[in-house]
Structure 1
Amino acid sequence: MSTVQNNTVSPSLLASMNPAAAATQSTAAAAQDTFMKLLVTQMKNQDPLNPLDNAQVTSQLAQLSTVTGIDKMNTTLQSLMGSYQSSQTLQAAGMIGHGVLVAGSSLNLNNGQAPFGIDLATSADDVKVTIKDASGRAIHSMDLGSQQAGMLALQWDGTTDSGAAAANGQYSFTVSATQGGQNVSANGLAFGQVASVASSGQGVVLNVPGLGPVNLADIRQIL
């Protein structure tokens, strides 16, 4: 009678039973089938004077059950993620043609209209916006006075501090805010219009001309 000296499943025994299967198995179901075959083989060839330890067999079965459960859970999660992303894509498609605000400091002036926004972490008693041209020179300032915390959609009509009308094109802006003389966190929000929607491994991405690809999660406000 042949004797199995080691009571654990060895790689060599796996290869001797079915080399092709051992090299290609990648699913929990195949691993479970192989494990049971190996366990039966061990039990048939066990040394009567040194039988398999029940606790060890139970432990191996528990480990196999855990691996199988994790594999099934991963499959379920992948299916849920796929369904969730498909749902997000359909919802995002409804944003095509709509304006959105995302974190940024760019401005696009077109025929006297340049929408943008700001985001205040807390209320401020003095909020100012400074608009700059392509060279970084300040050409217009907006004194917004006291503002509550949150997002605020704004628009520049293209008029400079000198009263002249700025040319169409790209500009930038900065925002500063204080409360009782202390600086308050204030962030700029750039405006863009959604042209198309795409789904990728990174999630749902919106194509916003002038701003580039924007993740759905980065949209701060829909206008």
Structure 2
Amino acid sequence: MSSVTGTSGTSAASQSSDSGNPSANLTDVSQLQNNFISLMVAQIQYQDPTNPVDSTQFVNQYSQLSQVKSLENLNTIQKNSLVLADNLQNLSAAGLVGHQVMVSADSLQLDSAVVGGQAQLEHASSTTTLQLTSAATGEVSEVALGPQDAGSVSFSIDPQALGLAPGKYSVAIKTSSGETPKVEIGGKVSHVRVSNNGPVLEVDGVGTVPFYNIVEFGSSAA
């Protein structure tokens, strides 16, 4: 009897919680716990004296109910933590407006301004080349960076000196070792937009960049 009553009460409470509020509702859990205790007392009071109910059933069911309440509490704490983390990330991203950042990118938007960047080499390279491919024409332009030791390699792209027309270009670095490091482009954050996937930054010279693509902050990213 007690087993059927406990299962039915839990199912009803779950349906009520799902239809009324998709988040954890501690009030419903507490009410369910109070109802269970009341039913347990009533069942003990009106049980057949010649065939008493096994008390271990009550203990097991109450233990399960307590576990449900603990899980609901944990679920609520986790959801609040995620909301707090999202808010902190949005505030951090908003504070970058007007500041220089270095972002990981495989393309950039060129006009007449010089664009700076860098790459991190794991191996030394006797011949290092920066390749720019026009999205409009497919034409490939190369900038020789010379021999490079392992570590940070800085470069600058002057569209006018290179004779590059304004537009979008894919960018990559080729090395004699066969390594293809990620390209990092520096630019100023013009504004930040909040999306379902987190903050999205508009970086001059790069375009739209997710917040997690930032690899460096501060003046050294200029």
Task: State the TM-score, normalizing by the size of structure 2.
Answer: 0.74
Q: Deviations over 1:140-160 (max 9, x none)?
A: 3222421324x5453211233
Q: Residue type matched to 1:186 in 2?
A: P
Between the aligned partners of 2:74 and 2:154, the Cα distance in structure 1 is: 44
Counterpart of 1:137 in structure 2 is: 139
1:24 shift after superposition: 2.8
Q: Deviations over 1:172-223 (max 9, x none)?
A: 22212244xxx224122345542333445433333446532x3322212232
* 1:215 and 2:217 are equivalent in the alignment: no
Between the aligned partners of 2:184 and 2:48, the Cα distance in structure 1 is: 75
Q: Residue type matched to 1:170 in 2?
A: K
Between the aligned partners of 1:102 and 1:152, the Cα distance in structure 2 is: 15
* 1:65 and 2:66 are equivalent in the alignment: yes
* 1:203 and 2:198 are equivalent in the alignment: yes
* 1:194 and 2:189 are equivalent in the alignment: yes
Counterpart of 1:3 in structure 2 is: none
Mapping 1:82-161, distance limit 5 Å: 82-120=83-121, 122-126=122-126, 127-133=128-134, 134-149=136-151, 152-158=153-159, 159-160=161-162
* Partner SS, residue 31 of structure 1: helix
Consecutive unaligned residues of structure 2, counting only runs of 5 or more, are 18-24
Between the aligned partners of 1:22 and 1:111, the Cα distance in structure 2 is: 62
* Partner SS, residue 118 of structure 1: strand
Contact 1:117-1:153 within 8 A present in 2 as well: yes
Between the aligned partners of 1:29 and 1:71, the Cα distance in structure 2 is: 10
* Partner SS, residue 195 of structure 1: strand
Contact 2:9-2:32 within 8 A present in 1 as well: no
Runs of 4+ in 1 over 6 A off after TM superposition: none
Question: How many corresponding residue pairs?
Answer: 204
Q: Deviations over 1:96-136 (max 9, x none)?
A: 1223333322122232413343343x233243211222322
Contact 1:100-1:192 within 8 A present in 2 as well: yes
Between the aligned partners of 1:29 and 1:178, the Cα distance in structure 2 is: 67
Alpha carbons of structure 1 residues 31 and 204: separation in structure 2 relative to 1, 3 Å: farther
Between the aligned partners of 1:34 and 1:152, the Cα distance in structure 2 is: 68
* Partner SS, residue 182 of structure 2: strand
* Partner SS, residue 65 of structure 2: helix
* Partner SS, residue 56 of structure 1: helix
Alpha carbons of structure 1 residues 177 and 34: separation in structure 2 relative to 1, 3 Å: farther
Contact 1:107-1:115 within 8 A present in 2 as well: no
Consecutive unaligned residues of structure 1, counting only runs of 5 or more, are 1-5
Q: Identify the structure with the greater helix proportion.
A: 2
* 1:24 and 2:16 are equivalent in the alignment: yes
| Identity over aligned pairs, percent | 25
Between the aligned partners of 1:76 and 1:104, the Cα distance in structure 2 is: 36
Between the aligned partners of 1:196 and 1:80, the Cα distance in structure 2 is: 26
Task: State the TM-score, normalizing by the size of structure 1.
Answer: 0.74
Cα-Cα RMSD = 3.0
